[in-house]
Structure 1
Amino acid sequence: MTCLLDNHLLIDPVTALIPDRSEEHHELRRRIRAPIFEQIRKQVLEGATILMTACLAGDNGRDAAFLSEHFDIVRGTDIPIIWVNADCDPTILEQRLESPERCQGSRAKLTDVRVLRDLLREHHLIEPTQSADRSIRLVVKQLDVNGPVDLSASHLIRYSPRQTSLLPWENDLSSGDQMTICRPMHTLMQETDCV
């Protein structure tokens, strides 16, 4: 089984109840995540591949704790977590933020380019290698997402149920080669455009 869990599936219900980003808002998100992450761990241990999105700042204690929650899914197992930073040119990112599809969508996504510019200037993405310990099998890669989404997705994953171990990632993810992600594993894709 392969499952995609978009971060907004967990964020949007909380935002509907508590629209500000207060401590109460973040605590409710954490409480909602706990049983979901517990179920994800069970499914991963049974051989499922779980793809998750997140956007975590390197200079934020709350985001560091959230990263640790992701690591807890596979902590103490031989299941790898593959962390993919999706890199996008700021100009393209701004165009995507202002797209009619995003602006008219039902999700609570960022659409203000000025806020995006402030976020990009004031923050940087978290470095998962600085938080991982020896009980985590961590692979970190970069993915160029300047092109069409379907092209980026084809570079990210090509699932092969015949494989039972982690494939070597010797090819550059932005080189045009298709990459295969094998089960069992837990994958977290950190998006720069999910803010």
Structure 2
Amino acid sequence: MNAGEKFWDAQDRAFKLAEKELQKSKRTSRTLLDYQATGEERTKIIDNASDFEMPSQSLWLTPEERALNLKKQQRLMRESLVNKERKSRGEKTVEMTIKDGKVTMVEKYVTHTEGTSHEESELEKSIKEKKMQSQTSNSVWDYEMDKSKWEKPIYFASKNIPQVDKSELKITKNRVQFPKEDASEVIATVIN
């Protein structure tokens, strides 16, 4: 309360301040509750690009493995198209069973499965062989294979190398001094 202010005026002013703070806190709480409610939507990752990328486009696959994956994918796509056509036309098989004098008929849709082509099986076989070869080659070191990677160096002497006079070379003494006597005598004395 300020000096000279009536009690009721001060109380009204305090209520107005409290009302403003209450409105502000309600807005803040609403914002926080909205944030909490929609938090999952914000953290959800939507990857549309991967929907259009072929699974055979892996960086780690060899070209043969990519080709094999593409062939398998094409075969599965053809199978699904054939099965879809058959279901839409109503191509069915009817299974009749006679049991206890009663005939029961069961209709089944025919699913068409296309076998792996010769090309696919050849690709699979070559991929398996290459993997086995790489595994066995990793475990054993082949001297000849390693030798074929390297070449012996060839040195060429240049024609304008100055000749060094032997008399100019300084004669140095060996730091290790060998005795002048016969080595067999020294060995015999060391053993005894």
- Is the shorter-chain TM-score for this pair beyond 0.5, marking a shared fold? no
TM-score between both structures, scaled by the size of structure 1 = 0.18
Larger helix fraction of residues: 2
TM-score between both structures, scaled by the size of structure 2 = 0.19
